[in-house]
Amino acid sequence: MQSVNKWFDSFHALNDINFATKKGEKVVVCGPSGSGKSTLIRCLNGLELHTSGTIDVLGIRLLKDGQSLRKIRENIGMVFQQFNLFPHLTVIENCTLAPITTLGLSPAEATERAMKYLDRVKIADQAHKLPKHLSGGQQQRVAIARSLCLEPKIMLFDEPTSALDPETINEVLDTMISLAEDGMSMICVTHELAFARKIADRIIFMDQGQIIDDQPPEEFFLNPGSERAKEFISQILTH
């Protein structure tokens, strides 16, 4: 990502963002609300189109045409704060829809693959239920499995635990940790600093559309590079 800017009308959501990640790297993005974290990762798969600058994902330049977007999305999975499962489809159908439609898998192959990843997030026994019959944590795990079914090279997480009840947060975090341990490249917007400390290779702290800090977690927590990051950490920890 090079000198990326994003404007929402007159609001400068991303201000001269530069950063790069390596394969297998786990990056946690944090910062106060409205700081542009979500916008940042939504730009990576073109859910928001950046106003200026260049974004390259896995060697593909992200342009406004459908072609580059589809190529990039083929390799990026995304998990949302509100899960965004398809409520009219069962868990397994949620998982098989995209592989059948975009990868051209046969229903049997797609089902097999879906079961594999549902098993991976430990929810295979719920495969034939509708999303509304699952708890929030279960729904989010299904959403993770649904993304994995396209076998992406990078996973984006946009505050995956913010909409969850406290008691189900851990099951989702555990799933993410095990993904991380398997070497998946991850970019994760979250306020779960304990989780960040555990899996992150780097923590990016954002404020007002800018990247203020970009450090390994130990350094970030012990010796944040900026006053604002210090304030943010103390606010979260005293909560």
Return the structure tokens found at 139: 């729904």
CA neighbor of 15 nearest in space, from 219, 200, 226, 34: 34
Per the CB < 8 A criterion, the answer to whether 16 and 4 are in contact is yes
Beta carbon of residue 76, minimum distance to another protein (angstroms, whole number) = 8
Beta carbon of residue 161, minimum distance to another protein (angstroms, whole number) = 16
Beta carbon of residue 153, minimum distance to another protein (angstroms, whole number) = 13
58 binds another protein (CB under 8 A): no
CA distance 238 to 236: 6
146 binds another protein (CB under 8 A): yes
130 binds another protein (CB under 8 A): no
Nearer to another protein, 46 or 217 (CB): 46
- The Cβ of residue 169 has, within 10 Å, a number of other Cβ atoms equal to 18
Strands 185-189 and 26-30: parallel
Nearer to another protein, 71 or 197 (CB): 71
Beta carbon of residue 39, minimum distance to another protein (angstroms, whole number) = 13
Interaction residues for another protein, span 72-91 (CB under 8 A): 73-74, 76-78, 80, 82, 84-88
Pick from 2, 54, 101, 226 the residue near another protein by CB under 8 A. Answer: 101
Strand, helix or coil at 200? coil
Please state whether 5 falls in left (phi above 0), alpha (psi between -120 and 50) or beta.
beta
CA distance 218 to 69: 35
The number of residues that bind another protein (CB under 8 A) is 25
Instruction: Compute, in degrees rounded to 10, the torsion defined by CA atoms 113, 118, 124, 128.
Output: -80
Beta carbon of residue 11, minimum distance to another protein (angstroms, whole number) = 19
Beta carbon of residue 77, minimum distance to another protein (angstroms, whole number) = 7
Pick from 35, 38, 45, 185 the residue near another protein by CB under 8 A. Answer: 45
Q: Which stretch binds another protein (CB under 8 A): 6-14, 93-101, 116-124, 231-239?
A: 93-101
Return the structure tokens found at 229: 């990051």
Per the CB < 8 A criterion, the answer to whether 127 and 76 are in contact is no
| Sites of contact with another protein (CB under 8 A) | 45-47, 66, 70, 73-74, 76-78, 80, 82, 84-88, 97-98, 101-102, 143, 146-147, 150
